Amino acid sequence: MNDAAKKKYLAKIQKLMRLAENTSSPAEAANALSKAQAFMKEHGLSETEVVFSEISTSVSK
């Protein structure tokens, strides 16, 4: 998988995980988490990779 494809899938998984965390519907949360896990498994991504992909760095003077 190239970097562009990986970023695309990571963004989709992150969106699903945020939905799972922020919805008031238990059924919607379960569905979103299930889809996120399926994408991770399908594309060989770990939850750690997803979490760490949200961290960015910057340089300041």
Contact criterion met (CB below 8 Å) for 47 and 39: no
CA atoms within 13 A on the CB side of 1: 13
Contact criterion met (CB below 8 Å) for 23 and 35: no
pLDDT at residue 20, as a whole number: 93
pLDDT at residue 56, as a whole number: 66
Sign of CA dihedral 7, 56, 30, 28: negative
pLDDT at residue 53, as a whole number: 78
- Compute the distance between CA of residue 58 and CA of residue 61 in angstroms, rounded to an integer: 10
CB atoms within 10 A of CB 39: 16
pLDDT at 57 over 70: no
